[in-house]
């Protein structure tokens, strides 16, 4: 569907009863409300639907709260979970007074990034392929108040349940860091992931594969086929929506937290990127290192130069930095390499087809807002191309095994959210190019993350502090 008329015809053909209007808040969660189909006509695409922006995280103050949602007809699809036939449609956010697109709407920022790419003359399209991992648990309990704080995770697949006395305990539990590719019954969630994939295909997502991931207790990955920037961010939001709802349908709970389990692999979202112009891939050169073009190397130079600032957007939670530590396959080292998964930037070597030549940036995790993350990564790469930033020499060794004298000069990602946000404060000019991001949205993002998240964690006693310090 491309036009409002297409959507209205589809509504009639599918006997739709409700329309679910979705948009994304600044931290990166979908918000929604539903209207009867009788309230959804051509005027909806022109006038939109009003809502209270002051009640949405990171948006407006109460004295400027009125905002409009304008549906994007290209995003319309049947909602796969509603009992009543319901059309799902993603909206852009408009200021009803000025008629302009809202500067803090993450989807608007992603659209501006695509427009900036075309205006730069460097390329006319970028393609994106995120590998969003997640966990599916059987239960989760957590609380934090003035006198207690705890969380309890459980999974029948978790190796910690190998000694469980409940009858029956049938074994077949992936050991820590050994969950990659076992067949059922050790992989106990094959059917559920297939259910997720079938639902995604029905919702219009293009899926390449699904599998169990490295950690115990139901870590999984489902790979979406590459697409253009805004479309991929739209698809990733639908992806997360489907994962969570299918898990719930199976009596389980899914999370995209980067590090829910101590001393096991965390959840990442490696992002594959490529640039194209006039239908020609720009990252391929038969004679280059890993068959990369000079353009691709400069793009990598931009990613590595701005990596500290980028993590303030691509790894935006305090939990993100519990994943970004050595020893759990986390890509903490700011170097590039072909095939080497210990590097922050990897060049996949599965194929010699020029169309598949791409750059994989490995630090991001799926707690990020994909519209902001993809836009920021694109801007960093373009800055590298425009300013011919040299990424240095590749690192084709296992960095975790390097002797200290060789490893000492290798930069690493920030070790905490506040360090990443401080880097973003000090290095953001590349994001302001072409008006893609602006100071207002960056200031709002940094303030929200520091006050609502980093400070909120910093001020609370941690349960392990009692283990360390109670008897002092």
- The residues assigned a catalytic role are 52, 131, 133, 213, 221, 270, 341, 360, 362
Asked if residue 462 belongs to a known ligand binding site, the reply is: no
Q: Give the Cα separation of 449 and 280 in Å (integer).
A: 39
**If DSSP codes are grouped into helix, strand and coil, which group holds residue 273?**
strand
Asked if residue 286 belongs to a known ligand binding site, the reply is: no
Asked if residue 274 belongs to a known ligand binding site, the reply is: yes
Asked if residue 131 belongs to a known ligand binding site, the reply is: yes
The burial of 378, by beta-carbon neighbours within 10 Å (0-12 exposed, 13-18 middle, 19 or more buried), is given as buried
CB distance 370 to 241 below 8 Å:
no
The DSSP string of 162-180 is: TT--SSP-----PPTT--S
Asked if residue 406 belongs to a known ligand binding site, the reply is: no
Asked if residue 265 belongs to a known ligand binding site, the reply is: yes
Asked if residue 362 belongs to a known ligand binding site, the reply is: yes
Taking CA atoms, 454 is separated from 25, 136, 162, 250, in Å, by 19, 26, 36, 34
Q: Give the Cα separation of 417 and 412 in Å (integer).
A: 14
Asked if residue 266 belongs to a known ligand binding site, the reply is: yes
Q: Give the Cα separation of 317 and 365 in Å (integer).
A: 9
Asked if residue 320 belongs to a known ligand binding site, the reply is: no
φ and ψ at residue 352, rounded to 5 degrees: -100, 5
Asked if residue 270 belongs to a known ligand binding site, the reply is: yes
Q: Give the Cα separation of 260 and 240 in Å (integer).
A: 17
Asked if residue 208 belongs to a known ligand binding site, the reply is: yes
Q: Give the Cα separation of 356 and 283 in Å (integer).
A: 9
Asked if residue 323 belongs to a known ligand binding site, the reply is: yes
Asked if residue 429 belongs to a known ligand binding site, the reply is: no
Report the binding-site residues. Answer: 131, 133, 208, 213, 221, 265-266, 270, 272-274, 323, 329, 341, 355, 360, 362
| Residue numbers belonging to the annotated binding site for Mg(2+) | 131, 133, 213, 221, 270, 360
Q: Residues forming the annotated binding site for L-glutamate?
A: 265-266, 323, 329, 341, 362
Binding residues for ATP are: 208, 272-274, 341, 355
């Amino acid at each position: 569907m491309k036009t409002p008329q297409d959507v209205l015809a589809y509504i009639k053909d599918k006997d739709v009863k409700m329309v679910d209007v979705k948009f994304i808040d600044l931290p990166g969660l979908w918000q929604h409300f539903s209207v009867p189909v009788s309230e959804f006509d051509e005027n909806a695409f022109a006038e939109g639907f009003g809502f209270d922006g002051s009640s949405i995280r990171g948006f407006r103050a109460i004295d400027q709260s009125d905002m409009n949602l304008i549906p994007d007809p290209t995003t319309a699809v049947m909602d796969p979970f509603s009992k009543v036939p319901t059309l799902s449609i993603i909206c852009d956010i408009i200021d009803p007074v000025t008629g302009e697109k809202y500067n803090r709407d993450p989807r608007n920022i992603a659209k501006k990034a695509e427009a900036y790419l075309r205006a730069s003359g460097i390329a006319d399209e970028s393609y994106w392929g995120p590998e969003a991992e997640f966990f599916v648990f059987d239960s989760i309990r957590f609380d934090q108040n003035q006198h207690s704080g705890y969380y309890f995770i459980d999974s029948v697949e978790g190796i910690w349940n190998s000694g469980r006395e409940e009858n029956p305990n049938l074994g077949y539990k992936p050991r820590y860091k050994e969950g990659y590719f076992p067949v059922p019954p050790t992989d106990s969630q094959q059917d559920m992931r297939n259910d997720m994939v079938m639902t995604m295909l029905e919702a219009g997502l293009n899926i390449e594969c699904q599998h169990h991931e490295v950690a115990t207790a139901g870590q999984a990955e489902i790979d979406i086929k590459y697409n253009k920037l805004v479309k991929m961010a739209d698809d990733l939001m639908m992806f997360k929506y489907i994962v969570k709802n299918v898990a719930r349908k199976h009596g389980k709970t899914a999370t995209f937290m980067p590090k829910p389990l101590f001393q096991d692999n965390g959840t990442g979202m490696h992002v594959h990127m490529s640039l194209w112009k006039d239908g020609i891939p720009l990252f391929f050169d038969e004679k280059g290192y890993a068959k990369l073009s000079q353009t691709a190397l400069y793009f990598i130079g931009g990613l590595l130069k701005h990596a500290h600032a980028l993590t303030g957007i691509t790894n935006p939670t305090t939990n993100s930095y519990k994943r970004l530590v050595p020893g759990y396959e986390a890509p903490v080292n700011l170097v590039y390499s072909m095939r080497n998964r210990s590097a922050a930037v990897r060049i996949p070597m599965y194929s010699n087809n020029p169309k598949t030549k791409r750059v994989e940036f490995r630090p991001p995790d799926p707690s990020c807002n994909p519209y902001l993350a993809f836009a920021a990564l694109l801007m960093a790469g373009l800055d590298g191309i425009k300013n011919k930033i040299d990424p240095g020499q590749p690192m084709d060794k296992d960095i975790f095994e390097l002797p200290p004298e060789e490893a000492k000069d290798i930069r690493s990602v920030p070790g905490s959210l506040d360090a990443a946000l401080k880097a973003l404060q000090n290095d953001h000019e590349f994001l302001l190019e072409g008006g893609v991001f602006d100071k207002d949205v960056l200031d709002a993002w940094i303030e929200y993350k520091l006050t609502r998240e980093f400070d909120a964690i910093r001020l609370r006693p941690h349960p392990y502090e009692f283990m360390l310090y109670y008897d002092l």
